[in-house]
Amino acid sequence: MTTFELPIEVEKILTKFQANKYEIYVVGGAVRDILMGKIVSDWDFTTNATPEEILKIYPDGFCDNIYGTVGLTVEGYDKPFEITTFRTEHGYRDFRRPDKISWGKTLKEDLERRDFTFNALAIDDKKIIDLYEGQKDLDNKIVRAVGDANKRFNEDALRMMRAVRIAGELNFKIEEETFEAIQRNSTLINKIAKERVKDELFKILKSDNPYTGILHLKETGLMQEILPELTKCFGVEQKSPSRHHIYDVGQHLLMSLKECKSIDPITRFATLVHDIGKPQTFKKLPTGVITFYNHEMVSTRIAENLAERFKFSTREREKLVKLVRFHQFTVDENQTDSAIRRFITNVGLEYVQDMLDLRVADRLGGGARETSWRLEEFKKRLVEVQKQPFSIKDLKISGRDVMEELDIPAGPKVGEILEKLFNKVVEKKIENEKKALLTELNKIW
Ligand code: ATP
Ligand code: MG
């Protein structure tokens, strides 16, 4: 028998509904989190009281969506508590939104419309109500659809993405029938709005096990529907006689994601797709050598399409595209400072660390060591060249300073002087520091 304690704020809500002769239960992810010993992020309740009746008990509640969920702001909690009247759902129009929601009469009706057994648990203050052996599946780390999996995914295709996402997040297995039902119905995911698919995809990428989640996408056939370009990478060999590749392109991309140290979903996504243009540029020479000439440009074009498909924000798109476009950057001890500066300008200073994270993931995901002395040297030089100004506006002195110091009016002369100072700094003849610049200024004047 599992023992648990509910927060006082939750107890209060339960007591108040009961005092008003209504049934009320804690449901959904909260019960799952309690049983897993996790901190509960969302508190959801279900009741036989209608939204109007809930609002009579809690006049401060807000009810502003078509599902009639009443939200309550509770002190000390970031997210409002959500109270929803028992529901039953019949017939799904666009494979996502229920055609018709009708209030249910019993808890059982409400639980049987939920997606997975461990999400169909309820707590009625003292005990767990478990109609579908959700606790057993939770203990065995299994994602299992409530009822007939095939039917459930036909009602709402997003549940297939949810199954893969939750399995990834929790490191659970998808039960066989549920798994096969996803395989059978995978094409239905195309009926779901891309924003929703993106939400689930990003949750997979943000989880502790993005690799597992993406692998599940592939094995269930969902990847073929939402990221067909990535599916094409599997089976594309890249092992040339004298080269180190141990994986095919698709496996390499998955392994790179597994090794990616960044927790940013865009950086992780860029890592997953950085070579996605390789299948289109594959060439095998008579010597047996395999080349992927210009693959980063083709990958960039595909990345742009993906950003479009999943309706990325402008910033998300820019970051993804830059990381893919420049992932082939050269690391060479004979590089000039200006080549290194160009790298920083191309990638953008704010994404340089993400770019390095992608490179390390790319190396590890190809069976190489994490770093090399060349890469370490490159990182040092990235820091070094940043001490130098990139343009006149990075000088630690302005046109106004020049005018004041020399007591001259605005005009082309000011620009000329700044340019001279800039060149001296670039040539490392003086430091980019105000005092040194002022001293030099008086000298060249
Ligand atoms: P998370 O909060 O981590 O996204 P969750 O399981 O709590 O996971 P929510 O989207 O918060 O998911 O949904 C709350 C509950 O509503 C779920 O636990 C589940 O019982 C039910 N639910 C959500 N989406 C669906 C769906 N598409 N089909 C059936 N039931 C669903
Ligand atoms: Mg939740």
Tell me if residue 83 falls in helix, strand or coil. strand
Q: Following DSSP, what letter does each residue of 416-428 receive, concatenated?
A: HHHHHHHHHHHTT
Whether 237-387 and 8-140 are alike in CATH topology: the answer is no
Residues 6 or more apart whose Cβ sits within 8 Å of residue 10: 26, 43, 81
Residue 14, pLDDT > 90, answer yes
Residues 6 or more apart whose Cβ sits within 8 Å of residue 88: 101, 102, 103, 104, 109, 110, 113
Ligand number, closest to the Cα atom of 162 = 1
**Under CATH, which architecture does the 237-387 domain have?**
Orthogonal Bundle (1.10)
pLDDT in tens, 77-129: 999 999 999 988 754 444 455 555 678 889 999 999 999 999 999 999 779 99
pTM of the prediction?
A: 0.87
Q: Following DSSP, what letter does each residue of 23-41 receive, concatenated?
A: -EEEETHHHHHHHTTPPP-
Residue 7, pLDDT > 60, answer yes
C-beta 82 within 6 A of ligand 1 = no
CA of 29 to the centre of ligand 1 (A): 7
Q: How far apart are alpha carbons 211 and 204 in whole angstroms?
A: 9
CATH 1.10.110.30 fits 142-226, yes or no: yes
In the chain, domain spans: 8-140, 142-226, 237-387, 392-444
The predicted pLDDT at position 100 comes to: 59
Atom of ligand 1 nearest to the CA of 159: 27
C-beta 115 within 6 A of ligand 1 = yes
CA of 156 to the centre of ligand 1 (A): 12
pLDDT in tens, 324-369: 999 999 999 999 988 999 999 999 999 999 999 999 999 999 989 9
Fold of the domain spanning 8-140? Beta Polymerase; domain 2 (3.30.460)
- Cα within 13 Å of Cα(201), Cβ side: 25
